[in-house]
Structure 1
């Protein structure tokens, strides 16, 4: 078979990359709002779920409540608001089955490159199958739901493991049959992953130590939302979900702004919760970061599980730097020895942009670091491509929902106007006048390490990735699609098609 020729139908109107929360959300929105558009989902893994299928470490769970990490269109029906990965996967599988999405998913398809031809308004997307074979798909529009970090390679903290004789594990590649019963475990890190792993392993391990160089602000709350479960008993499911979601969105927004405006008051509140869980004699130093709350994301401790493990003597927190790794553990810079049979390096993720796909327009490579975000959804002077990068100060899915809805309205506008290209146009003269802003006003290590590959962010909307959901939602819904910046153009090729025809890449 030969490659796709100009003028032939596209395989899809929209090609969605990734079958995690972002990709499934976009597919569901298309089923609801763009039923006359064809779409396909390509997923490099063997299962849907993205993050929730990749990570298999003990206790993996959401660090946001599922009334906001869940979709706006699908009520969360489980009793626990802070949910584990199996419950989240069950939720996603229910959606793809009930909404006819599963038949659109192609597993084992890793997207290698995507090139846009302006003359035909068509993306040619090269995918690699698991046997190494490369094939092509074409689409009028590409929606990247590929997440924000590198699935293949975690952050390497550069540890020299030296004489250590035990097991060393990174949470991103958790061994399926790990037996840690009766073992001494040291988890290096203080983020959400470490805070989840430590109490979860403490039930079987002899002892689990969380070794942190820098503490993290921790926030405890019940895993069950009492109001949500009460409302579900007395109201229809969808109404109860809508009320709970509204309440949690408002609480997230209030808490974040309070932390930024009155950090000392928030610190006192966080300390009070920890003291209630650990007692007045707890080591405050281990829970006092050198930054204010929400300068980095707060670490959630549902049902005080970490503190309960500490009270039981099954877990502990140590704040120190590593001097060296020795045969039976870790020598600290203060002279102490942490004995370990297993060391877990929960030291963070490595950011990736656009799923590491080689994106080009007319054969010219796209450098995302030189493009401005447009409405936190598209990019300056890059046609027919949208992306999801969720909120750092709220649930990821909140952005996924509003971006999906927005793109559906763009697609419908294109259909209504007979146009095939939608491109946020930023002229060189206009770009000169933009004042650039810090894209992520967060001090987290993984954020700071990845800033150099991130797109640009302007101070003024719409050329930015904003961090205020309530305002973003209002703008995305209320402002016109044809705003004078998003340029709609016609192309000569037929951009419609319904059947998938995979073709060998040259």
Structure 2
């Protein structure tokens, strides 16, 4: 007996919890389940446990529009974010709908039955995995684009000779004690910028070793405007006001950086110089060669990194690793950094839609051959969408828009007699990258993802523009009934026989 749902959501992180809450609120008659590969909800926020881990977007835009952020900090730590997600799941009635330790490994669409068959691997013991199958009429992938099982670490010559400890932030050892130890952090991104001042509170000394600088900007942990708004307005009104303010600010900053890169360089170096009070250090360690927002800007919260550098507990080094030595790292310049612990904050691996293998009517789907419509549905893949967030703004702004697209598409399918739909591909559509940033982790993997197009509704820009595009896009004009082209065509006499909402929760 195979369990069937109207909708299956893959992933119980920020996107999946938000999508499930949206679905439950807007389409309460739909049956759905959330399949989560890990033993708990939270996604990124349950996986990463390194010291100081926190949001790099403000919580008024990283949280959901339907659930006000009530925390004191606008830039929040891991535990506060997890508590918020647990509250959202409980308030949305998701406790019984989330299937933990359940990884969807294959999704196979059968046009003869108008449904997805999902192969699910469930961990039932330390080394034991059981496979099962569930079916659904619509599949929504919310696993993000990071590989939770594999991190990125370049090959370092001589690393096997190092007598100290090497750790990667993605797999932080709970028992690691760095008190009074010499720490070298290899990396220049948000993780390294967060780790360095946090570890410096207990380590003997922390050295942050980067191959090249990253654009950073100081940001306060608390938002005084939010404190004022909460004092005079109801919680939801204050949340909406701060959300609108921060959407406008981050959108304007991104536009300014892309439109006026030279002025943006001057602005950012000026802010860092004012905080660090050392022009030479800013020129060497905080002035990249690339333009602002060619890669994501990194936030320095409450100037903690700059304070640690001024106090001498953190040292910045811009150089390349030559090789590891038993007692540390030798650089290309010949300098040796002695270390007891080396943290390789060298980046992440990207993964397409949680690593699911997609098959449509017997044919494997090559995602890089397809296009993203409205940033969420994929050409050639029927009754499927993905919750993908912004890379140049708060993730949840876009992920929530995608959840609203999903609900709108589901209503469209219901109105049209449960006929499966797929984006109507335009012949003259020019391809654009899935993510238009030059970061290393993106360049290594972006060619495996579906592509954006060169015009609406095949591209994503900013929240305001995308929200307006969503409202004015005609689903009837953009979506087409899916026609089988694979092995199931010979059985098309039964195509279109879908399981309606009235059949929900039954076993078939």
Q: TM-score, normalised by structure 2?
A: 0.94
Cα 1:484–1:278 change in 2 (3 A) is closer
Q: Deviations over 1:255-280 (max 9, x none)?
A: 00100111121122212221222214
Moved more, 396-405 or 406-415: 406-415
Partner of 1:315: 314
The answer on 1:113 being equivalent to 2:106 is: yes
User: Which residue pairs with 2:154 in the alignment?
Assistant: 157
Per-residue Cα deviation, 1:20-69 (whole angstroms, up to 9, x for no partner): 01110111101110001010000010000000000010000001001111
User: 3-state DSSP class of the match of 2:150?
Assistant: coil
CA distance in 2, matches of 1:347, 1:92: 28
Give me the whole-angstrom Cα distance separating, in 2, the residues matched to 1:65 and 1:201: 23
For residue 26 of structure 1, give the secondary structure of its aligned residue in structure 2.
helix
1:233 paired residue number? 231
Q: Distance in 2 between matches of 1:399 and 1:281?
A: 37
What residue in structure 2 maps to residue 455 of structure 1? 450
CA distance in 1: counterparts of 2:337 and 2:287, whole angstroms: 22
Report if the CA contact (8 A) 1:390-1:400 is conserved.
yes
Which aligned runs of 4 or more in structure 1 are off by greater than 4 angstroms?
A: none
TM-superposed CA distance for 1:486, in Å, is: 4.0
1:261–1:108 distance in 2 versus 1, CA, 3 Å: same
Contact preservation (8 Å) 1:119, 1:493: no
Alignment partner, residue 143 of structure 2: 146
Match 1:480 to one of 474, 479, 482: 474
After TM superposition, the structure 1 = structure 2 runs for residues 64-463 of structure 1, keeping only pairs within 5 Å, are: 64-130=57-123, 131-160=128-157, 161-283=159-281, 284-426=283-425, 430-431=426-427, 433-463=428-458
Q: In the alignment, is the contact (CA less than 8 A) between 1:218 and 1:298 conserved in 2?
A: yes
Return 455-464 or 344-353, whichever deviates more: 455-464
Structure 1 equivalent of residue 492 of structure 2: none
Deviation at 1:484, TM superposition (A): 4.2
Distance apart, 1:71 and its partner CA: 0.8
Contact preservation (8 Å) 1:123, 1:139: yes
In 1, are the aligned partners of 2:456 and 2:469 still within 8 Å (CA)? no
Alignment of 1:4-23 (within 5 A): 4=2, 11-23=4-16
Aligned residue for 2:308, secondary structure, equals helix
- Taking the aligned partners of 2:114 and 2:197, their CA distance within structure 1 comes to 52
Contact 2:418–2:498 under 8 Å retained in 1? no
Secondary structure of residue in 2 paired with 1:151 = strand
Q: Distance in 2 between matches of 1:72 and 1:483?
A: 29
Distance in 2 between the 1:50 and 1:363 partners?
31
Tell me by how many angstroms 1:471 deviates: 0.7
Contact 2:230–2:238, Cα closer than 8 Å, also in 1 = yes
Deviations 1:353-394 (A, max 9, x none): 011111111121111011111110101121011012211110
Q: What is the DSSP-based 3-state SS (H/G/I as helix, E as strand, rest coil) of the residue aligned with 1:243?
A: helix
Output one character per residue of 1:145-172: Cα deviation in whole Å (capped at 9) or x when no partner: 0111111011131123142110000111
Task: Kindly state the Cα deviation for residue 488 of structure 1 after the two structures are TM-superposed.
Answer: 7.0
Which ranges of structure 2 fall in alignment gaps of 5 or more residues? 484-494
Cα distance between partner residues in 2 of 1:454 and 1:200: 35
How far does the alpha carbon of each residue in 1:166-223 deviate from its partner, in whole angstroms, 9 at most, with x for none?
A: 0000111000111000000000000000001001100000011110001100110101
Q: CA RMSD in A?
A: 1.5
What is the total number of aligned residue pairs between the two structures?
A: 490
- Which range is displaced more, 394-403 or 481-490? 481-490
Greater displacement, 238-247 / 160-169: 160-169
Does the 8 Å CA contact 1:67/1:76 hold for their aligned counterparts? yes
Q: Quick check: 471-480 or 41-50, which moved more?
A: 471-480
8 Å contact kept, 1:127–1:135: yes
Distance 1:80 1:483 in 2: 44
Structure 1 CA distance for aligned equivalents of residues 221 and 280 of structure 2: 23
Query: Once structures 1 and 2 are overlaid, which stretch shifts more, 265-274 or 293-302?
Result: 265-274
Contact 1:162 1:324 in 2 (8 A): no
SS of aligned partner of 1:483? helix
Asked whether the equivalents of residues 122 and 495 of structure 1 are also in contact (C-alpha less than 8 Å), the reply is no
**What does the per-residue CA deviation read over 1:338-361, in whole Å, with 9 as the maximum and x for residues that have no partner?**
110000000001110011111111
Structure 1 segment 493-504 matched on structure 2, within 5 A? 493-496=498-501, 497-499=503-505
Work out the CA distance in 2 between the residues paired with 1:403 and 1:452: 22
Q: Distance in 1 between matches of 2:423 and 2:134?
A: 24
Partners in 2 of 1:260 and 1:320 — Cα distance?
A: 28
8 Å Cα contact 1:329-1:340 kept in structure 2: yes
Secondary structure (helix, strand or coil) at the match of 2:118 reads strand
Structure 1 length normalisation: TM-score?
0.94
Asked if structure 2 preserves the Cα contact closer than 8 Å seen for 1:188 and 1:344, the reply is yes
